[in-house]
Amino acid sequence: MANMRWLSTRIWREPYVQTMDSLKKELFVYLHLNSEITYYGVLVYNSELIAQETGIPNDSIKQMIQDFEDDGQVIVRDNRICVRGFLKRTRSEDSSVSPQTQAAFRRDRFFLNQDIVEVVEGEIQEAESEMKPSTERRGRRR
């Protein structure tokens, strides 16, 4: 787990985030920046710990996590939360997925639910494919 994490300020422009009330925004940001989340966006679901760290009531956390899942923003499987879009929100637009992130995922993937593995694999592939066009554009300027 990282001691420091970067979160894109573009998060505030996401239509989904703009529809949230302040408590949901706090929890959504917490899911990206808490000390227990992996480099690839998965954490053990412990609503009591989340309540302790955020001050949000436990019942509210459970309801908001369910709302996030219903809205396709997270996947909850086997007591783990996978934050969709995590890699996009926690790296700069012009950076690829770090080797450290990829190594951590390769190491952990065998312990994760297959639904979570598929989401993370898709996000890594998406991030890597987003890098190719900018590299190609740079090459065309010559």
Residue showing tokens 């894109």: 8
What is the per-residue pLDDT across 36-77, written as a single tens digit (0 to 9) for each? 999 999 999 999 999 999 999 999 999 999 999 999 999 999
Q: What is the pLDDT of residue 92?
A: 78
Half-sphere exposure of 109 (CA within 13 A, CB side): 15
Q: Which residues of the chain have pLDDT under 70?
A: 1-3, 131-142
Which domains are seen in the chain, by residue range? 9-140 (1.10.10.10)
Q: Quick one: which of 106, 128, 92, 112 has its CA closest to 10?
A: 92
Q: What is the pLDDT of residue 135?
A: 46
Q: What is the pLDDT of residue 128?
A: 84
Q: What is the pLDDT of residue 141?
A: 47
